[in-house]
Amino acid sequence: MAIKSDRWIREQAGKGMIEPFSEKQVRDGVISYGLSSYGYDLRVSDEFKIFTNVNSAIIDPKNFDERSFVSVQADAIIVPPNSFALARSIEYFRIPRDVLTICVGKSTYARCGIIVNVTPFEPEWEGFVTLEISNTTPLPAKIYANEGLCQILFFQSDEVCETSYADRAGKYQKQQGIVLPKL
């Protein structure tokens, strides 16, 4: 299994793997996004769900209470101290059958105590990415919409998997918005 380069990512984007696709790093006055040497920095949309404990809900992945979040559409949000928010990517992804991705945070946010967690995009998964943004600091943290949030690394296997995410009808396949936990 090898990490894929900018040439391969550009070629696959031309076949619909990433839409919209930014062929170069956009950096002027924004937290960078777009194609890099061995990855793609995705952008966070202006749709967010910010965690709140105002309703004293319990976080239960088997019975998730939507009252745990406040929905916000904005150019930037504030994630409360020691809290988190969900968001979605601007880009829509279609992962090839022999590819797995891993997402890592961007250094600009990481140096501010912001951690981005995204599970791997499995072979033949497609959709907008639900992004988990954690503020590990005791201070409020600002997140900017329409700018880079994390980097996707693409790994291509030396053989095609027997069963893909699409084959098993994964529960997060073709997700459109911010998708909360499903059982």
Over the stretch 131-143, which tens digit does the pLDDT of each residue have?
999 999 999 999 9
| CATH at residue 7 | 2.70.40.10
Q: Note whether residue 165 is domain-resident.
A: no
Q: Evaluate whether residue 182 is within a structural domain.
A: no
Q: Is 49 annotated as a binding residue?
A: no
| 165, 117 Cβ separation under 8 angstroms | no
- Per the listing, tokens 């930037």 go with 76
Q: Would you say residue 47 has pLDDT above 80? A: yes
Mean pLDDT, rounded, for 58-63: 84
| 11, 47, 126, 132: the active-site residue | 132
24 labeled binding residue: no
Is there a domain that residue 180 lies in?
no
Residue 171 in any domain: the answer is no
130 is in an annotated binding site: yes
- Whether 16 is in a domain gets the answer yes
Q: Please indicate if the annotation marks 83 as binding a ligand.
A: no
- Is 124 annotated in a binding site? The answer is no
3 state DSSP class of 8: helix
The per-residue pLDDT for range 96-148, each reduced to its tens digit, is 999 999 999 999 999 999 999 999 999 999 999 999 999 999 999 999 999 99
What tokens appear for 85 in the block?
């928010």
C-alpha separations of 104 from 32, 73, 75 in Å: 14, 24, 23
Euclidean distance between CA atoms 15 and 161, whole angstroms: 20
- Confidence tier at 81 by pLDDT (50, 70, 90): very high
Residue 7, helix vs strand vs coil:
helix
Instruction: Look at residue 112 and tell me if it is in a domain.
Output: yes
Q: How many domains does the chain have?
A: 1
Within a domain: residue 166?
no
| Amino acid symbol at 13 | A
Active site residue 132: yes
Q: Are the beta carbons of 146 and 46 closer than 8 angstroms? A: yes
In a domain, 94, yes or no: yes
Domain boundaries, position 139:
2-55+65-158
Are the beta carbons of 128 and 177 closer than 8 angstroms? yes
Q: What is the mean pLDDT of the chain?
A: 95
CB 103 within 8 A of CB 89: no
Distance CA 142, CA 161 (A): 40
The pTM (predicted TM-score) of the whole model is 0.93
Sequence-distant (≥ 6) Cβ neighbours of residue 166 within 8 angstroms = 124, 125, 126, 173
Tokens encoding 91: 């880009």
- Mean pLDDT of the 64-92 span: 94
